[in-house]
Amino acid sequence: MKAAIAEGIGTYLLEDVELLPLGPTDVRVRTIAALACVTDVHARRNGGSPGLAKPHIRGHAGIGEVLEVGDRVRRTQVGDRVVVVSRPQCGTCWWCLHDQPYECDTTVAPPPAAARRANGDLLQGSARVGSYAEEMRVAEATVVPVDTTLSDDELLMLSCGATTGFGAAFNTVPVRPGQNVLVMGAGIIGLSVAQAARVGGAENVVLVEPQAARRDHALAGHATHAVADAEEARELLADLTSGRGADVAFEAVGTPAALQEAFMLTRRAGDVVGIGFGHWDDQLVLPFNQVTLRNKRLSGCQFGSASIIRDIPDYARRIELGQLEVASLVGKRFSLDEINEALDAQEACETLGAIVVP
Ligand SMILES: [Zn+2]
Ligand SMILES: [Zn+2]
């Protein structure tokens, strides 16, 4: 089968590889579509995550149809339409049993080999997924069957950015009625945060986004205000909150500067949520007394603090009911052969949720 391989930093190569036979808790999935995520733009420029050997199959989010399951797989069966995600939930480790399944032990274990190249080299899948491929060989823990009338494109949005953004404002720091919310970045995550914040009853949702087209898109959707930079946001929030600042600020950019700005724009005793994916050696510097004397709380948020097997089907149902929407996040379509063009489009902010179809 064809897969997009990362050899190091730089463009991905399309190559014919062979999936390894399934272990007892593995699932083989025919890829219906993969999400070309901005995380892969970073990885293409800076290299993949620690623990990921090179070369490997890229792509950490997708949907597909289950073709085959291992003997001990219980979560899904052949024929299911499933969402495959980068945050596994095994259901039995310490974290899964202590209500923090988004830190499932599987998440920090090195991804197992999933396929073999013609030269015999073994390949891992990025984040245990490897969705830029015609098929995926993944652990049951990464697979979420969803029985829904959602289109493939809509369901795909729940495989990464939308679930992350919704969960940030529903799970990590639930937004409450009447709050003034700041969101840094109007990509698929930031827009999903904005929507969930409105659903939670936020009075104002201020998006900070340098790209004018993305600001317009945000304003046509769920943001009440969209500004170009932190200074504009500071003035606007001062007006909206009698000088207090944001009740909750979400960073969805992936730079220390954006998280620092979000922190400084948050009111005393407010909440700051960092969502973006930075470099592994990035450091965050914050004024100490703003945390202690000013009671500001900083939370990390990976994958929307989600229980994937609870939240992804729930979000799908809420979209069916018209309580949430992801149609506005669906971006341009690319073939698997065009994977590098898809990431170029993401890097240039020319599209939101770019779809890669094998
Ligand atoms: Zn992603
Ligand atoms: Zn677990």
Per-residue pLDDT for 118 more than 70?
Answer: yes
Please state the rounded mean pLDDT for residues 180-192: 97
User: What is the whole-number distance in angstroms between the Cα of residue 219 and the centre of ligand 2?
Assistant: 38
Give the pLDDT score at 50: 63
Please state the rounded mean pLDDT for residues 318-329: 97
What is the chain's Cα-based Rg? 20
Instruction: Please state, for a pLDDT cut of 90, what percent of the chain lies above it.
Output: 87
Per-residue pLDDT for 294 more than 70?
Answer: yes
Residue type, 25: T
Dist. CA 198–CA 275, nearest whole Å: 18
Give the pLDDT score at 314: 98
User: What is the whole-number distance in angstroms between the Cα of residue 185 and the centre of ligand 1?
Assistant: 15
SS3 for 273-332 is EECCCCCCCCCCCCCHHHHHCCCCEEEECCHHHCCHHHHHHHHHHHHHCCCCCCHHHEEE
Query: What is the tens place of the pLDDT at every residue in 19-76?
Result: 999 999 999 999 999 999 888 888 887 766 666 667 899 999 999 999 999 999 999 9
User: What is the whole-number distance in angstroms between the Cα of residue 93 and the centre of ligand 1?
Assistant: 24
User: What is the whole-number distance in angstroms between the Cα of residue 39 and the centre of ligand 1?
Assistant: 5
Give the pLDDT score at 48: 64
Residue 28 pairs with which residues in a beta bridge?
68, 137
User: What is the whole-number distance in angstroms between the Cα of residue 162 and the centre of ligand 1?
Assistant: 9
Same fold across 2-158+326-357 and 165-301? no
Distances (CA, A) of 320 to 118, 138, 151: 44, 28, 10
Give the tokens for residue 10. 């730089």
Segment (H or E) for 46: helix 38-46
Query: What is the tens place of the pLDDT at every residue in 256-270?
Result: 999 999 999 999 999
Dist. CA 204–CA 289, nearest whole Å: 27
Interface pTM, i.e. ipTM: 0.97
Give the pLDDT score at 53: 66
User: What is the whole-number distance in angstroms between the Cα of residue 304 and the centre of ligand 1?
Assistant: 12
Length, in residues, of the chain? 358
Please state the rounded mean pLDDT for residues 281-306: 95
User: What is the whole-number distance in angstroms between the Cα of residue 40 and the centre of ligand 1?
Assistant: 8
Dist. CA 266–CA 286, nearest whole Å: 13
Domain 2-158+326-357 in CATH: superfamily? Medium-chain alcohol dehydrogenases, catalytic domain (3.90.180.10)
Give the pLDDT score at 51: 62
In contact, 261 and 156? CB cutoff 8 Å: no
Backbone angles phi and psi of 29, in degrees to 5: -125, 130
Give the pLDDT score at 73: 98
Please state the rounded mean pLDDT for residues 294-311: 97
Query: What is the tens place of the pLDDT at every residue in 200-238?
Result: 999 999 999 999 999 999 999 999 999 999 999 999 999
Q: Look at residue 235 and give its three-state secondary structure.
A: helix
The overall average pLDDT reported for the chain is: 95
CATH number 3.40.50.720 given to 165-301 = yes
User: What is the whole-number distance in angstroms between the Cα of residue 181 and the centre of ligand 1?
Assistant: 23
User: What is the whole-number distance in angstroms between the Cα of residue 37 and the centre of ligand 1?
Assistant: 5
Per-residue pLDDT for 121 more than 90?
Answer: yes
- Domain segments of the chain as ranges: 2-158+326-357, 165-301
Per-residue pLDDT for 349 more than 90?
Answer: no
Instruction: Please state, for a pLDDT cut of 70, what percent of the chain lies above it.
Output: 98
Please state the rounded mean pLDDT for residues 78-90: 97
User: What is the whole-number distance in angstroms between the Cα of residue 273 and the centre of ligand 2?
Assistant: 23
User: What is the whole-number distance in angstroms between the Cα of residue 60 and the centre of ligand 2?
Assistant: 18
